[in-house]
Amino acid sequence: MNALRGALERPTPLALGLALLLGACAAPGPGPADVSSPSRYWGQPLDPAGAASATPSGVAEALPALPLTPQALEQAAARAVDDLNPDQPMVDFQSPEAQQDLWQRLRARLVLDNLDGPRVDKWETFYAKRPDYVDRMLERGSRYLFHIVQEVEKRELPMELALLPFIESAFNPESQSHAKAVGMWQFMSATGKDFSLKQNLFRDDRRDVLASTRAALDYLAQLGRRYDGDWQLALAAYNWGMGNVDRALKQLERQRKPRQYALMKMPNETADYLPKLQAVKNLVLRPDGFGVQLPPLANHPYFLSVNIAGDLDVELAAQLAGLTPERFRQFNPQMNKPLILAAASPQVLLPYENAERFVGALADYTGPKASWTALQLPKTMKPAEAAKWAGMSEAELREINRIPPRMNIKAGSTLLVPRTAQRDHDVSEHLADTAALALAPDAPARVATKVTVRAGDTLSTVARRHGVTPAQMADWNKLSLTTRLKTGTQLTAYLAPAKKTVASAKPKAPAKAKTRPAKVTQTKATTQRAKVKG
């Protein structure tokens, strides 16, 4: 740090590099956030400039004037690092390498054979007709592309893989498909867990920019090895699944055909996958042909990882960094709650200029840093009862913990609750990793009832007669689903209590005098129809 202090005291190239590293001109800021409207726990919406429209009282006083003091710069250098090069956090933005065009660096490393044909033409036309969509996609990608390019190079993989988030999610880390694939790289839950992407009440690492990129490239590298460097097969497996691709290849073997992507029988989505990637590749190589202009991208990191020592409200973190909560979430979309857990997410990502401000502001901030903590429910409760136990309104409990109507909360569930003097603690690492919310339908209590087996009954007919399932009947009576029942046997069924009927208090109407019914004449045809209906 003495060398750092000396560099700050004299105008040397290193000092200039440090100032640019932590200064406001470190990276071009994108436009307005492209996210959906937040709940009230994520703060106010964006203004047209993408900045916070107002700073709440108590935070403005904590924000230091910029530029920061040499001591604050030292602290920033110690706590804010380039995640890709943690041992070399200093970036000289004036170096020739940093001034290179990232798009040119990417183009120079595109090595896979090109495809052509009607499917490629279809997707080229798709992008050419949607310049606004392409612009939004490119703007989002500009935040994360340097990091992905670095990671692809580090693994010595084809650079085409850096373009996959364009076709997977349009570079939206909060994207979720109809099939429940999530994040920039569209991980299904099980596959994400296979690659150590945590998914629980507080976080979903499939949305985490760093973690999901690491997992996706590890997975793609694994697929590349599995298919002996045939990247067409590897990419088909990334989209369709290894099992499906393996079965399609075995079918080709039985037909005595070569193991080729183009010969596999596959769904349209997978058949379009590589042509779509080729169309994006062509767009990057020849943007003029698509009527778009690639945003200028410098060849240096866009964001830093900043360490946090304790739990921190998301809204406060965003304010201290000079960002709206929505903009903050663009870099930290994995957080499911309005609380950053130091035990689960000890780092946050911030653009360079905001990292500088955040580190200094957080060090100077003396107010409460977290207004929430987590507790486990000691027994199964209705939401109203749990809200009273937690000291908050039922509406607030439901919103913050996303509890749907007509559901009870099971014992052992983790709930986010307001901090008080008696429970002013950070969430433990164990709870941060295992937190879960278990719900059960708010059904009326069931009563054990004896039911008698009739002649010809099976568990299915008994269950159907009493409005339960055969599996429930088997479980309650310790029987298998195929057990033969003896007539007259009594079984136990847990049934909803019968509704009580209340006798009507209305006085009976006086009996009407009997009158002889009118004589009705029916035709033969009418009589026959009546007999048929009966």
- What pTM was estimated for this model as a whole? 0.70
Which amino acid is it at 438? A
Residue 38 CB partners (closer than 8 Å, separation 6+): 45, 325, 326
| pLDDT for 507 | 55
Helices (H), 309-348: 314-320, 325-331
What φ, ψ does residue 330 adopt, rounded to 5°? Answer: -60, -30
Which amino acid is it at 92? D
Task: List the catalytic residues.
Answer: 168
- In tens, the pLDDT along 239-283 reads 999 999 999 999 999 999 999 999 999 999 999 999 999 999 999
| pLDDT for 19 | 32
What φ, ψ does residue 46 adopt, rounded to 5°? Answer: -70, 145
Instruction: State percent of the chain over pLDDT 70.
Output: 74
* Alpha-carbon gap, residue 522 to 467, rounded angstroms: 44
Residue 3 has pLDDT above 50, yes or no: no
How would you label 303-312 residue by residue, b for 16+ Cβ within 10 Å and e otherwise?
bbbbebeebb
Strand, helix or coil for residue 204: strand
- In tens, the pLDDT along 103-152 reads 999 999 999 999 999 999 999 999 999 999 999 999 999 999 999 999 99
Helices (H), 48-185: 70-79, 102-107, 118-128, 131-154, 164-169
* Alpha-carbon gap, residue 131 to 134, rounded angstroms: 5
Strand, helix or coil for residue 20: helix
Q: What is the dihedral of CA 442, 448, 449, 451, to 10 degrees?
A: 100
Task: Of 8-22, 415-429, 459-473, give the lowest mean pLDDT range.
Answer: 8-22
Of 25, 28, 3, nearest in space to 14 by CA:
3
pLDDT band of 356, cuts 50, 70, 90: confident
Helices (H), 477-523: none
Helices (H), 23-113: 70-79, 102-107
Number of CB atoms found within 10 A of residue 468's CB: 18
How would you label 73-92 residue by residue, b for 16+ Cβ within 10 Å and e otherwise?
bbbbbebbbbbeeeeebebb
Residue 288 CB partners (closer than 8 Å, separation 6+): none
Encoding tokens for residue 293? 């202009």
Which amino acid is it at 34? D
Give the bridge partners for 493, in sequence order.
449
pLDDT band of 202, cuts 50, 70, 90: very high
DSSP for 259-300, written as a single string: --GGGS---HHHHHHHHHHHHHHHHHH-GGGGT--PPP-BSS
- In tens, the pLDDT along 286-314 reads 999 998 999 999 888 889 899 999 999 99
- In tens, the pLDDT along 426-442 reads 999 999 999 999 998 87
pLDDT band of 94, cuts 50, 70, 90: low
- From residue 496, how far is each of 34, 60, 330, 406, 468 by CA, in Å? 49, 58, 49, 17, 10
For residue 470, whether the previous peptide bond is cis, meaning omega lies within 30 degrees of 0, is no
Q: Which of 64-78, 83-97, 308-322 has the highest mean pLDDT?
A: 308-322
Helix (H) or strand (E) holding 460: helix 459-465
pLDDT band of 95, cuts 50, 70, 90: low
- The answer to whether residues 81 and 362 touch, using CB atoms and an 8 Å cutoff, is no
